[in-house]
């Protein structure tokens, strides 16, 4: 091996030059990747900054709220006054025996309808028939006595005129004649009384109505004034209810004008109308403890839907609001600032509209101002809405769920 220092120096220079070029190449490659990484990071940061700025400028899309809506319509709204009432018959009769005797026959069926003067039962008439024969015989005898007294009185008058007898004898005979006449009248009264008792042996219905459960059995002996059966008139029938004194003037005005005030009878939960009638009369004084007055309404009750002592809801028609814009009551929101509704616009968004409410009855509300007939008002989903909300509308097919021009109520 060559140990020449010069040779070693040349060799070292050659190797050093090669390694230097390699080192410079490596360093150049590293710087290129570094710049590329920096450019990528800058691009990503710029993209994120631009994206955030754009997101801040574009508002988020509002969710679509599903709601139910109904078209407002123009029509009439009947204003009713609803009160609890009691079905009360016009007549309830407790049939009692007028004479004493044994029940020979029962001619009615419990719970059946009976007509006026229809035979109900028969009491043994034989004791009264025997009395009638006795009194008629007594009358015949007393008529003969009266005839004799009349003849004798005529003779005494002739004798008195001839001066044969004294005036006292004539007066005595006249008194005997008057006494005989009184006896005849007494006998006739006894006969008439027995005939009445004989008629009372046939117990008949005093009214037309439904007969109740009998209180006697065949063969029983009854005394005068014993209860036999109860009959209640059902057709027509009445309902008695009370109204506040503040409404009396309006009711009296309607009755004075000759208008027949309609009254409806509904069941307890107001789910079914039982009958329709009219206001018949009202009481003559106000109950000071309750501040109400009693009214009586009459119902034909041809279908026997009303039963005595039944509790019903009486709805009296106070007045009718005509040609009003009607919306469901569920569509009206009431706040401290007043009433408002949500109206669906043509672009499927809603606007909150303040309204003036005229009157409310159950599911219908009359709007004086704020909504026009034909506009769709939201009835369900109101709690999720705010002005401008996008909605998916389902039109309610209820009584108000059609345009006004095709379903306006007519009364």
Considering the segment(s) 125-200 as one domain, its CATH architecture is: Orthogonal Bundle (1.10)
Q: Domain extents for the chain?
A: 21-60, 66-76+323-407, 81-89+233-320, 125-200
Pairing of strands 262-266, 202-204: unpaired
Per-residue pLDDT of the chain (411 residues; tens, 9 = 90+): 445 554 444 544 444 444 545 555 545 555 666 666 677 766 676 666 665 655 445 555 567 888 888 898 988 888 888 899 999 999 999 999 999 999 999 999 999 999 999 999 999 999 999 999 999 999 999 999 999 999 998 988 998 888 888 889 889 989 999 999 999 999 999 999 999 999 999 999 999 999 999 888 999 999 999 999 999 999 999 999 999 988 888 888 888 887 888 999 999 888 899 999 999 999 989 998 999 999 999 999 999 999 999 999 999 988 888 888 999 988 898 888 889 999 988 888 888 989 988 888 778 888 888 888 888 899 888 888 888 888 888 887 654 433 333 333 333
Residue 155 phi/psi, 5-degree rounding, is -65, -40
Instruction: Check if CATH label 3.30.70.3000 holds for domain 66-76+323-407.
Output: no
The single-letter DSSP state of residue 383 is G
Neighbours of 120 (CB within 10 A): 20
User: What is the value of pTM for the model shown?
Assistant: 0.63
Fold of 81-89+233-320: Elongation Factor Tu (Ef-tu); domain 3 (2.40.30)
Residue among 183, 280, 186 nearest 237 (CA):
280
Q: CA quadruple 87, 88, 91, 97: dihedral positive or negative?
A: positive
């Amino acid at each position: 091996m060559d140990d020449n220092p010069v040779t070693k120096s040349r060799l070292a220079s050659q190797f050093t030059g090669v390694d230097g070029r390699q080192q410079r190449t490596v360093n150049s490659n590293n710087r290129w990747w570094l710049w590329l990484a920096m450019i990528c990071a800058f691009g990503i940061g710029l993209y994120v900054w631009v994206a955030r700025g754009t997101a801040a400028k574009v508002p988020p899309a509002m969710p679509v709220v599903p709601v139910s809506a109904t078209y407002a319509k123009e029509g009439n709204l009947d204003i009713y006054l609803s009160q609890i009432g009691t079905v009360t018959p016009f007549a309830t009769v407790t049939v009692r025996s007028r004479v004493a005797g044994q029940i020979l026959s029962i001619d009615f069926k419990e719970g059946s309808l009976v007509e006026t003067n229809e035979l109900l039962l028969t009491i043994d008439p034989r004791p009264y028939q025997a009395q009638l024969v006795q009194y008629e015989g007594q009358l015949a005898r007393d008529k003969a006595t009266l005839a004799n007294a009349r003849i004798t009185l005529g003779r005494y008058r002739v004798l008195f005129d001839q001066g044969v007898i004294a005036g006292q004898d004539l007066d005595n005979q006249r008194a005997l004649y008057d006494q005989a006449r009184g006896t005849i009248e007494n006998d006739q009264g006894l006969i008439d009384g027995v005939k009445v008792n004989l008629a009372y042996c046939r117990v008949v219905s005093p009214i037309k109505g439904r007969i109740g459960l009998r209180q006697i059995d065949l063969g029983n002996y009854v005394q005068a004034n014993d209860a036999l059966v109860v009959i209640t008139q059902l057709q027509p029938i009445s309902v008695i209810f009370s109204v506040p004194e503040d409404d009396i003037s309006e009711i009296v005005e309607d009755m004075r004008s000759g208008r027949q005030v309609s009254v409806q009878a509904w069941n307890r939960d107001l789910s079914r109308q039982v009958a329709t009638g009219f206001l018949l009369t009202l009481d003559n004084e106000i109950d000071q403890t309750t501040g109400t007055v009693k009214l009586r309404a009459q119902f034909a009750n041809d279908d026997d839907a009303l039963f005595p002592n039944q509790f019903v809801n009486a709805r009296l028609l106070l007045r009718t609001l005509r040609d009003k814009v009607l919306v469901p009551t569920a569509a009206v929101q009431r706040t401290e600032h007043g009433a408002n509704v949500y109206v669906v616009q043509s672009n499927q968004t809603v606007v909150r509209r303040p309204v003036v409410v005229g009157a409310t009855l159950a599911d219908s509300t009359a709007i004086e101002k704020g909504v026009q007939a034909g506009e769709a008002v939201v009835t369900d989903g109101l709690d999720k809405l705010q002005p401008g909300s996008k909605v998916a509308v389902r039109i309610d097919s209820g009584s108000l769920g059609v345009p006004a021009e095709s379903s306006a109520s007519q009364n």
